[in-house]
Structure 1
Amino acid sequence: MLSQYVDPGSILHRPSVTGWRQAVDIAAAPLLLNGAITPEYVEAIKASIAGPGGTYIDLGGGVALAHARPESGVNATALSVLQVETPFLLADSAEHPISTMFCLAAKDANAHIALMQDLAGLLTDGERRGALNAATTADEIRSIFEEER
């Protein structure tokens, strides 16, 4: 269940951001605060997005999965989410408008697989994904994470 990876303060909702770099900073902030990641991990995410093919983290439907290699600064497996009312452009590309950015930190391959399976369960469930896209508060997003199917 996704809620085991997400602290209550790791679910964020904002009207807008100034761009994808600020979105990464905001989405990663709770993970920095709780010690799950280091500042180097945030910089590795930004470098990956800014590099060739950086939009690979766009999962479609306005959802992106910001992450980097564990050795870039992951201390614990965790997940945060930022949802914005006004989409931002991933890597400044008009082809990649994003309204929901997950920030994933996986300590190792096993944790990565387990977390990705739970996240895939949410994103492939049309009803839950629709509820995520329609959510307007952090509490609404949190309740979607707590649903088990």
Structure 2
Amino acid sequence: MFDKYFTDGDILFACEVSGWSEAVDMVAAPLLEAGSITDGYVDAIKKSIVSPGGTYIDLGGQVALAHARPEFGVNATSLSVLHVAKPFLLADDSNHPISTMFCLAAKDANTHIELMQGLAGLLTDADKVAALGKAAGVADLKRILL
């Protein structure tokens, strides 16, 4: 299902990151490079995370969904993912360790519904969530997601 959204460079793996801000930069980089989003969109994601309640993007299972409103700089509906072998703390909050971060850019309120349904299906599949947690590289991520 995700194969129509992910290109080769949209699935990323890192051993570790310095923190959640670097994770956001890394996961957003392929979308920036493709022109799907602007720097303003990345800034809006970061502002949302540090705002009160910003950890709502923690979906459980050490998975987060970085996103912001379309008007902050979405040019095309797109998706990327970063898996980090050593979890980082979302908003530097020890209650929110994250190892997999998706970056969703939705052009409008309707075009991302299929993507959200796919993510919901993925996140309710305990085997896939467990496999995400054990992913050791891009090849593993592709097997799980594509």
TM-score bracket, shorter-length normalisation: over 0.9
C-alpha distance in structure 2 between counterparts of 1:21 and 1:46, whole Å: 7
Q: Which residue of 1 aligns with 2:116?
A: 116
The amino acid that maps onto 2:74 is V
Tell me if structure 2 keeps the 8 A contact 1:8–1:142: no
Within a 5 Å distance, the mapping from 1:1-149 to structure 2 comes to 1-146=1-146
SS at match of 2:139: helix
SS at match of 1:107: coil
SS at match of 1:136: coil
Offset from partner CA, 1:89-127 (integer Å, 9 cap, x none): 100101101111100001111222111001111111122
TM-score, normalised on structure 2?
0.97
Superposed structure 1 runs of 4+ greater than 4 Å apart = none
SS at match of 1:109: coil
The amino acid that maps onto 1:2 is F
TM-score, normalised on structure 1?
0.95
Tell me if structure 2 keeps the 8 A contact 1:77–1:105: yes
Cα shift at 1:21: 0.4
SS at match of 2:41: helix
Tell me if structure 1 keeps the 8 A contact 2:12–2:83: yes
Report the RMSD for the aligned CA atoms in angstroms. 0.8
Name the count of aligned residue pairs: 146
C-alpha distance in structure 2 between counterparts of 1:110 and 1:3, whole Å: 19
Q: Which runs of 5+ in 1 are unaligned?
A: none
Tell me if structure 1 keeps the 8 A contact 2:61–2:129: no
Aligned sequence identity (%): 63
Cα shift at 1:18: 0.4
Q: Which runs of 5+ in 2 are unaligned?
A: none
Offset from partner CA, 1:60-80 (integer Å, 9 cap, x none): 111100000011100111111
The amino acid that maps onto 1:47 is K
The amino acid that maps onto 2:43 is E
C-alpha distance in structure 1 between counterparts of 2:84 and 2:123, whole Å: 17
C-alpha distance in structure 2 between counterparts of 1:87 and 1:139, whole Å: 19
